[in-house]
């Protein structure tokens, strides 16, 4: 009876991304011997805004949507974080994602604090016009938080450079002049950065390369499985393929495809972004997302949504290395099981930081109105990712912990230090 209750409690916790984020923070606080009152400060988001707003639909009707924007700890700089359009967006998830952004920015040592936003909607069921109306109204509703010095949004699930362009335009219309630095992930034509579109996937590829070396194999020739074929999944597939890896399976929300001899990635990239693109691919077997996660491979890259590997399926994972391109794809219980099974996990707050690193470069370029060549952006990104991976590896080794805890120790320590040095106002 007690065991059933505990198991149920665990399952409930596994469903709450914020509960997981708190558990991870508490574990890092233990290693850092963090003061309890400071831990209490770090556990809480600083600001949470919930908005319910009307949008004119194409058929003349008006629909009310719900959106969120959360700032976590402000100690290290302006708030930075993506905007997610997805039917399952919740305040709980947005809080967790904002907290993870704080640690992520600290791990790669860029001067931001964490934020996240989202709207509960299915962007695939909205026309382009409805999507624009929704974006312009949502950004107006949360404008009390957003600005180039206070909070700089970016793309996430369900949003893209066009959505970022509408955000930049809406904010600029209200100001009366153009403010490119208010948002990152914009098209290059309006102040976006070269290299931003592929930045998260490029960072994932760099750390996959380092993790493979640590496990004693090369990325060149490695068998790679990727869940998700959106911005991050498709860029990762492209860059891993270019690095000589064999991408043997890939999926989107509808399901996946598998060919042990490797998929024709250039061909798949050709139709990327089109609904049903993956399913239309002929030279592979159709598989479910569940089956995809359990395929034998060298590197597994979850690049879709959170909580896909849990205590229920972690035992069946047969990868040597997992690179968390998505935010929070593993629950803490799954993490423990995988560690016991000798799987090397590169944690999200390190693995997918490439996106925010180049977002930071974009912001710097916008503020200076001086733009860099793509080679320069990529070279600087790769340097930051390699340096951060090595730092995390060393801290993990020194403390005899896994890479996730190594990354948390660095991130939480930097934020705790900044919070302490600034002091508590008044
Ligand atoms: P996206 O919307 O471009 O793509 C998401 C992909 O996941 C799509 O292929 C979609 O079909 C698939 N998907 C959605 N629900 C799924 C499900 N239940 N099972 C399997 N597949 C599913 O989003 P994205 O920008 O590529 O983001 C993917 C992940 O990477 C998210 O966790 C996001 O938070 C994280 N991330 C993104 C960035 C970025 O720069 N875009 C940066 C850091 C982290």
Same domain, 266 and 158: no
Number of domains in the chain: 2
Q: With contact defined as beta carbons under 8 Å apart, do 39 and 25 qualify?
A: yes
Give the structural domain span for 122. Answer: 45-178
What stretch of H or E contains 71? strand 62-71
Which residue lies with its CA nearest to atom 21 of ligand 1?
Answer: 253
Which residue lies with its CA nearest to atom 33 of ligand 1?
Answer: 326
Reading the block at residue 236, the tokens are: 């990762």
What is the per-residue pLDDT across 57-112, written as a single tens digit (0 to 9) for each? 999 999 999 999 999 999 999 999 999 999 999 999 999 999 999 999 999 999 99
Same domain, 237 and 105: no
Does a structural domain hold residue 64? yes
User: Residue 414: which region, alpha, beta or left (left: phi > 0; alpha: psi -120 to 50)?
Assistant: alpha
Does a structural domain hold residue 100? yes
Query: Counting beta carbons within 10 angstroms of the beta carbon of residue 309, is it exposed (0 to 12), middle (13 to 18) or buried (19 or more)?
Result: buried
Same domain, 163 and 206: no
Does a structural domain hold residue 71? yes
pLDDT value, residue 271: 86
Reading the block at residue 260, the tokens are: 């042990």
Same domain, 204 and 336: yes
Does a structural domain hold residue 24? no
261 vs 278: CA distance, rounded Å: 17
Relative to beta strand 255-258, strand 285-287 is antiparallel
- Of residues 80, 116, 186, 246, which has the active-site annotation? 116
CATH number (domain holding residue 134): 3.40.50.10860
Relative to beta strand 62-71, strand 47-56 is antiparallel
Between the CA of 253 and the centroid of ligand 1 the distance, in Å, is 9
pLDDT value, residue 47: 98
Residue 204 φ then ψ, to 5°: -60, -40
Ligand 1, residues 86, 100, 159, 232: which to mutate, most atoms within 8 A of Cβ? 232
- Mark which of 148, 178, 208 sits at the end of a domain: 178
What is the per-residue pLDDT across 7-18, written as a single tens digit (0 to 9) for each? 555 555 557 999
What share of the chain in percent tops pLDDT 70?
96
Query: Counting beta carbons within 10 angstroms of the beta carbon of residue 136, is it exposed (0 to 12), middle (13 to 18) or buried (19 or more)?
Result: middle
Active site residue 116: yes
Q: With contact defined as beta carbons under 8 Å apart, do 101 and 135 qualify?
A: no
Between the CA of 17 and the centroid of ligand 1 the distance, in Å, is 16
Using CB distances shorter than 6 Å, the residues near ligand 1 are 155-158, 200, 227-233, 251-253, 289, 303-305, 325-327, 352, 355
Reading the block at residue 252, the tokens are: 């989107």
Atom of ligand 1 nearest to the CA of 158: 2
Ligand 1, residues 156, 294, 301, 330: which to mutate, most atoms within 8 A of Cβ? 156
Same domain, 61 and 133: yes
Does a structural domain hold residue 402? no
What is the CB neighbour count within 10 angstroms for residue 198? 24
- Mark which of 299, 317, 351 sits at the end of a domain: 351
Atom of ligand 1 nearest to the CA of 229: 9
What stretch of H or E contains 84? strand 79-86
Q: What is the DSSP string of 339-353?
A: HHTT-EEE-HHHHTT
Same domain, 325 and 206: yes
What share of the chain in percent tops pLDDT 90?
94
Mean pLDDT of the chain: 96
Ligand 1, residues 253, 271, 347: which to mutate, most atoms within 8 A of Cβ? 253
Ligand 1, residues 87, 105, 121, 200: which to mutate, most atoms within 8 A of Cβ? 200
3-class DSSP assignment, residue 259 = coil
Which residue lies with its CA nearest to atom 3 of ligand 1?
Answer: 230
pLDDT value, residue 377: 98
CATH number (domain holding residue 221): 3.40.50.720
Please compute the mean of the pLDDT values over residues 237-246 and round it to a whole number: 98
Confidence class of residue 418 from pLDDT cuts 50, 70 and 90? very high
Does a structural domain hold residue 222? yes
Same domain, 117 and 251: no
Cα 189 to chain centroid, rounded: 25
Q: Residue 411: is its pLDDT beyond 70?
A: yes
Q: Residue 113: is its pLDDT beyond 90?
A: yes
Q: What is the DSSP string of 386-397?
A: HHHHHHHHHHHH
Does a structural domain hold residue 208? yes
- Mark which of 178, 209, 237 sits at the end of a domain: 178
Does a structural domain hold residue 6? no
Same domain, 218 and 136: no
Q: How many H helices and E strands in the chain?
A: 15, 12
362 vs 164: CA distance, rounded Å: 13
Q: Residue 344: is its pLDDT beyond 70?
A: yes
Confidence class of residue 272 from pLDDT cuts 50, 70 and 90? confident
Same domain, 280 and 343: yes
Which residue lies with its CA nearest to atom 5 of ligand 1?
Answer: 230
Between the CA of 118 and the centroid of ligand 1 the distance, in Å, is 13
Between the CA of 256 and the centroid of ligand 1 the distance, in Å, is 14
Q: Residue 6: is its pLDDT beyond 80?
A: no
Same domain, 347 and 253: yes
Same domain, 339 and 205: yes
Between the CA of 373 and the centroid of ligand 1 the distance, in Å, is 27
Between the CA of 326 and the centroid of ligand 1 the distance, in Å, is 6
3-class DSSP assignment, residue 115 = strand
Between the CA of 232 and the centroid of ligand 1 the distance, in Å, is 7
Atom of ligand 1 nearest to the CA of 352: 43
Same domain, 324 and 222: yes
């Amino acid at each position: 009876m007690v065991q059933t209750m505990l198991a149920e409690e665990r399952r409930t916790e596994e469903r709450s991304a914020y509960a997981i984020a708190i558990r991870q923070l508490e574990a890092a606080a233990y290693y850092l011997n963090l003061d309890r009152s400071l831990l209490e400060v770090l556990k809480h988001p600083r600001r949470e805004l919930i908005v319910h707003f009307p949008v004119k639909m194409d058929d003349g009707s008006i629909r009310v949507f719900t959106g969120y924007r959360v700032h976590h700890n402000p100690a290290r700089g302006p708030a930075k974080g993506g905007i997610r359009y997805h039917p399952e967006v919740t305040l709980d998830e947005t809080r967790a994602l904002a907290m993870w952004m704080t640690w992520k920015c600290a791990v790669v040592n860029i001067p931001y604090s964490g934020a996240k936003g989202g709207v509960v909607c299915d962007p695939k069921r909205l026309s382009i016009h409805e999507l624009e109306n929704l974006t312009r109204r949502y950004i107006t509703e949360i404008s009390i938080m957003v600005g180039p010095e206070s909070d700089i949004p970016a793309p996430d699930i369900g949003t893209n450079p066009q959505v970022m362009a509408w955000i930049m335009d809406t904010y600029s219309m209200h100001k009366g002049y153009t403010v490119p630095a208010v948002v990152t992930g914009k098209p290059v034509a309006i102040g976006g950065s070269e290299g931003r579109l592929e930045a998260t996937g490029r960072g994932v590829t760099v750390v996959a390369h380092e993790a493979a070396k640590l496990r004693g194999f090369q990325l060149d020739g490695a068998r790679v499985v990727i869940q998700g074929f959106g911005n991050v999944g498709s860029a990762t597939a492209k860059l891993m393929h270019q690095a000589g890896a064999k991408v043997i399976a890939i999926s989107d929300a509808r399901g996946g495809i598998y060919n042990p001899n490797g998929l024709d990635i250039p061909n798949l990239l050709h139709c990327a972004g089109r609904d049903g693109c993956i399913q239309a691919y002929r030279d592979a077997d159709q598989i479910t997302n569940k089956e995809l996660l359990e395929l034998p491979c060298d590197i597994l890259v979850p690049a879709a949504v959170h909580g896909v590997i849990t205590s229920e399926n972690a035992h069946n994972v047969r990868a040597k290395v997992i690179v968390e391109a998505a935010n929070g794809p593993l629950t803490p219980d799954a993490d423990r099981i995988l560690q016991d099974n000798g799987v090397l996990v590169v944690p999200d707050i390190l693995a997918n930081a490439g996106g925010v690193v180049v977002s930071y470069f974009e912001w710097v370029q916008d503020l200076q109105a001086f733009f860099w060549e793509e080679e320069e952006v990529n070279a600087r990104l790769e340097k930051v990712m390699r340096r951060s991976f090595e730092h995390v590896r060393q801290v993990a080794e020194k403390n005899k912990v896994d890479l996730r805890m190594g990354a948390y120790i660095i991130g939480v320590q930097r934020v705790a230090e900044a919070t302490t040095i600034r002091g508590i106002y008044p």
